Structure 1
Amino acid sequence: IYGYGFYVWRAKFNAISAKILLIVSSSTLMVTIMFSLIYSYGNLKHVMTITIAQMVWIHGVVNGIGVALPAFVGWMIEKSVPNYKYYGKPMSKLRGNVAIGEAFLYSGNLVGSKEYNGLVDQITDFHSESFDVTKVPLSMIHFYENTAEYELQSNIKWTRWFRPFALCYEKMSKRVEQIHLGMGGN
């Protein structure tokens, strides 16, 4: 936590208001952690330093208003850009609603008469300073350029603790028509 606080003080931000809010947040967190250490020390030595009511107030109210809220607003203001180099390829402008199945493609007139064999025409189109195509295994290149030759098979077995979540996932994925794995089986 103190390392994070140090990092926030030293890091460069796009917006000064975001930096101020994040400094307030991390500094407040460091102070409240110090109070918890004082409380723990008092319990260890059987000496009343800070009461449990004070600790509840410090960790509930102060962390909520002084840590979480400024951090949330600060990161919303910052809108940080990724630290990787964008390789200049266009991103899809397609946005869906509830279901993104095969009907979505036809309803938006997104299906033409041309058929494609793979996810990409040529993997070499993606060669750049940050992506060396010669380092990609031939089997991967074949998959991306000839995806139609492959068939996905899966045998789903959810772990016991995840089954309630899997039930929710099953209902959602069936409706959205994307990667519908179901509750198990082939």
Structure 2
Amino acid sequence: MTMREIKLCLLGDTNVGKTSVVQRFVMDSFKPGTETTIGASFMSKTLLVDDKSYRYQIWDTAGQEKYRALAPMYYRGSAAAIIMYDITNEESFRGVKSWIKELREKGPKSIVLAIAGNKIDLEDQREVSTEEAADYCSQVGAIFIETSALTAAGVNQLFTDISERLPGQSLAVHSNSATIQLRKTETSKKKSCSC
């Protein structure tokens, strides 16, 4: 089976749950009190979507301002980027707009953008409405989904949606020993914006 290598960069403010979402996707686990990422960390996972195999090389960047200057090193050459915010933190959503602006100015021209509102398990503490985020997504032409690293809601669907949005390119041949099948039946608060 042929496999497509996908470099993906995960961006967003500190403490929005970037590392927890990646751990949920890659290892299907959740570890409370995950330590803050220093610089960036790397994980990979292969998945099968619509009979196509994708090997995601995920660069999880630090959210602290002092590491922001390093971000271009990680998103350069990326096929996709996930910009994450915490639905219980309005300021983290404002940070998304800054990341989108930077990616539009300095990132790859054909990069697939996804915006993920994390921590929907904390609905009673919500500060960012689904409608507000979906409207912004529509304006910038990004995939939009809400997730929970704790419950796994929306996490696999996020990567499935990105896979389906990637522009066609040639596939590299690799072993499929770690391939998994993701189904499109996962239920979550999701809206894909196509502008």
Please tell me whether Structure 1 or Structure 2 has the larger radius of gyration of its CA atoms: 1
Query: Do the two structures share a fold, i.e. TM-score over 0.5?
Result: no
Bigger helix fraction: 1
Q: State the structure with bigger RCO (CA 8 A, min sep 6), 1 or 2.
A: 2
Higher strand share: 2
* TM bucket normalised to smaller: under 0.3
